[in-house]
Amino acid sequence: MPRLLRPSFNVRALRRLLPPCGYDVHGARAEWRWLREWAEASVAPALVRPTLERALWERARLRKPLQYILGTQPFGDLELLTRPPTLIPRWETEEWVLRLAGLISSTSPSGPPLRILDLCTGTGCIALGLAAHCPSGQVQVWGVDVAESAILLARENAKKMHPLLRGNSVHFQLGDLNDPSSLPQGPFDLIVSNPPYVTQEDWAGLEPEVRVWEDSRALVADHAGLQCHQAIASLAASHLLHIPHPGPRTLPRLLMECGEGQGKVIQDILNSVKFSRTDIWLDLAGSDRVVVAY
Ligand SMILES: C[S@@+](CC[C@H](N)C(=O)[O-])C[C@H]1O[C@@H](n2cnc3c(N)ncnc32)[C@H](O)[C@@H]1O
């Protein structure tokens, strides 16, 4: 630790980090350790203390999320760039993406690579996570987002993470899931998405780290938070996916992340557009997290 970081500075720093960490002492200690490691690794020794002072001010006063200060967030084996207002990848998403990559890896399909469409790609975490955790040459992924800032960041992430993508190709493009003509040409073997699913009322009650810093377009959706799920279900059923005849399938065709308690309604939407079987994957906390259609 640099000589300038005296014990009194550490105590004051922890005190300032307690409110944004919800008064969780372990959380505040962890954030302080990450901030120190980041500052010590990224600036000259003489600048460590002023850099930390600024970071503490941003974190405590402006309630800037830690990942926007550090500039990165781990996602599986990847270290993704994070920048406001693009949504910071969440552990819940990382969990199901690794589960899906495991499924794809275990089926080892022969023949051409699986064509995968990631709608609402944000940082590109899902598209890049699948490319990095599926066997070499087994997937081709297209990521689409309506926000130009997200597509620019996703492309930077693709460039930075290229050595870890195992030769699997990933392309990012601007597009709106409400405008099918703006989307990449189908059909696809698999559609994945973490669309916005928070209601306007729930968004108003979220913590400042989310409300002030992350794009509300990334979070809020009409129709009880399900407008994007409805649009994706229609796209999948119409021209983006070849829906096979009902029968046993090991690989899903469509996965959509959802919020707590939304799983059953989304299953009903998918059943109404001719998917033969749907499941709900729970997250580690036991909440509905992904609706999976076969
Ligand atoms: C919940 S974030 C998910 C980002 C990323 N996939 C992840 O898991 O971290 C939703 C993303 O959907 C994008 N989005 C919102 N409406 C959209 C639309 N109509 N068409 C395409 N993308 C949209 C937002 O810009 C945002 O990046």
Tokens of 47: 């600048």
The model's confidence at residue 8, banded by pLDDT at 50, 70 and 90, is confident
Q: Which tens digits make up the pLDDT trace of 170-201? A: 999 999 999 999 999 989 999 999 999 999 99
Backbone dihedral angles phi then psi of residue 261, each to the nearest 5 degrees: 80, 0
State how far the alpha carbon of 68 is from the alpha carbons of 62, 73, 154, 236, in Å.
12, 9, 15, 34
Decide: 147 in ligand 1 pocket, CB within 6 A: yes
Decide: 129 in ligand 1 pocket, CB within 6 A: no
What's at 291, amino acid-wise? V
pTM: predicted TM-score of the whole model, two decimal places: 0.94
> With pLDDT > 70 as the criterion, what percentage of the chain qualifies?
95
Tokens of 254: 């469509």
Q: Which tens digits make up the pLDDT trace of 132-166? A: 999 999 999 999 999 999 999 999 999 999 999 99
Could you please report the per-residue DSSP string of 12-74? Answer: HHHHHHTTTTTT-HHHHHHHHHHHHHHHHHHS-HHHHHHHHHHHHHHHHTS---HHHHH-EEE
Nearest to 52 by CA among 91, 1, 109: 1
pLDDT at 13: 96
Which atom of ligand 1 is nearest the CA belonging to 178?
Answer: 19
DSSP annotation of 239: I
Decide: 121 in ligand 1 pocket, CB within 6 A: yes
Q: Which tens digits make up the pLDDT trace of 98-138? A: 999 999 999 866 778 999 999 999 999 999 999 999 999 99
Q: Which domains does the chain have, with CATH numbers?
A: 7-62 (no CATH), 76-293 (3.40.50.150)
